[in-house]
Amino acid sequence: MSENRLVYSTQTGRIQNKEPTRTSTKTDGIVRLRLETKGRKGKGMTTVTGVDFPEKELKELCSQLKKMCGTGGALKNGIIEIQGDNRNKIKATLEQLGHNVKLAGG
């Protein structure tokens, strides 16, 4: 069923959506490290999820982890991706920063 909501008025113009925007995701306080190879042509990629930081701080953390591991990586949709199997190095670094870290997956 369609929802009746006003999107345009001839008197005031376009009506803006009044829903609040989220700047960070809610997590359970546990940072999870996972080695993913599916969809990556057999190459391993360490993913870091559950870090409840704003976008700017996530970029800084991603940069710090890439330098520490000596590999490339990216930040996509709030998930830090680091090339290769660097779970142990990343776990040690995040625990030094005070995070509760778990190795997830196989």
Q: What does pLDDT average to over the chain?
A: 82
What are 16-57's pLDDT values in tens digits? 665 554 444 556 788 999 998 887 777 889 999 998 888 899
CATH number at residue 61: 3.30.780.10
Q: Is residue 38 part of a domain?
A: yes
Q: Is residue 10 part of a domain?
A: no
Q: Is residue 11 part of a domain?
A: no
Task: Enumerate long-range contacts of 88-93, CB under 8 Å, 24 or more apart.
Answer: 90/33, 90/46, 90/48, 90/65, 91/33, 93/64, 93/65, 93/68
How far is CA 2 from each of CA 25, 63, 93, rounded to the nearest angstrom?
A: 29, 45, 50
Q: Which of 2-6, 12-16, 23-27, 76-80 is predicted most confidently?
A: 76-80
Domain that holds residue 57: 22-104
Q: Is residue 57 part of a domain?
A: yes
Q: Is residue 68 part of a domain?
A: yes
